[in-house]
Amino acid sequence: MTRPLHDLTWDNSFARLPDAFAERVAPTPVTEPWLLAFNEDLAATLEISPSVAADPAFARWIGGLDQLPGTEPLAAIYAGHQFGVWVPQLGDGRAILLGELTTSSHQRWDIQVKGAGMTRFSRMGDGRAVLRSTVREYLAGEAMHGLGIPTTRSLAIVASDLPVYRERAETAAVLVRVARSHVRFGSFQLFASRQQFAEVQQLADYVIEHHFPEFLALPAEDRYAAWFREVVDRTARLMAAWTAVGFNHGVMNSDNMSILGITLDYGPFAWFDDYDPAFICNHSDSSGRYAFDQQPRVGLWNCARLGEALLSLVPEEAAVAALESYRDTFELAVDGLIRAKLGLARRLDGDAALIRDLFDLMHQTPVDYTRFFRLLSAATASDPDTITAMHVELDDPSHSEAWLQRWIARVAAEPASDLERRAAMEAVNPKFVLRNWIAQEVIDAAVARDTAPFEQVMALLRRPFDEHPGMERYAEGPPEGTVEVAVSCSS
Q: What's 489's DSSP letter?
A: T
Residue 214 is which amino acid? E
Residue 313 and residue 280: Cα distance in Å, rounded?
Answer: 36
Q: How many other C-beta atoms are found inside a 10 Å radius of the C-beta of residue 348?
A: 11
In a 3-state reduction of DSSP, which class is residue 89? coil
Residues 6 or more apart in contact with residue 321 via CB below 8 angstroms: 229
CA Rg value for the chain: 23
The pair phi, psi for residue 186, each rounded to 5°, is -65, -20
CA distances from 43 to 4, 5, 50, 462 (A): 11, 11, 7, 14
Residue 92 and residue 264: Cα distance in Å, rounded?
Answer: 13
Q: Within 13 Å and on the Cβ side, how many CA atoms surround 400? A: 18
Angle at 249 between CA 244 and CA 251, to 5 degrees: 150
Residue 163 and residue 488: Cα distance in Å, rounded?
Answer: 20
Length of the chain: 491
Residue 147's nearest CA partner among 433, 439, 422, 371 is: 433
Do the Cβ atoms of 171 and 448 come closer than 8 Å? no
Q: How many other C-beta atoms are found inside a 10 Å radius of the C-beta of residue 405?
A: 12
> Which residue in the list 110, 255, 273, 368 is annotated as catalytic?
255
Provide the H-helix boundaries in 246-344: 295-309, 316-342
Q: What's 486's DSSP letter?
A: P
Burial 109-129 (b: 16+ CB within 10 A, else e): bbbbbbbbbbbebbeeebbbb
Residue 397's nearest CA partner among 436, 367, 442, 431 is: 367
Q: Within 13 Å and on the Cβ side, how many CA atoms surround 438? A: 25
Do the Cβ atoms of 9 and 70 come closer than 8 Å? yes
- Does residue 233 have an active-site annotation? no
Burial 86-105 (b: 16+ CB within 10 A, else e): ebeebbbbbbbbbbbbbbee
Residue 254 and residue 471: Cα distance in Å, rounded?
Answer: 38
Residues designated catalytic: 255
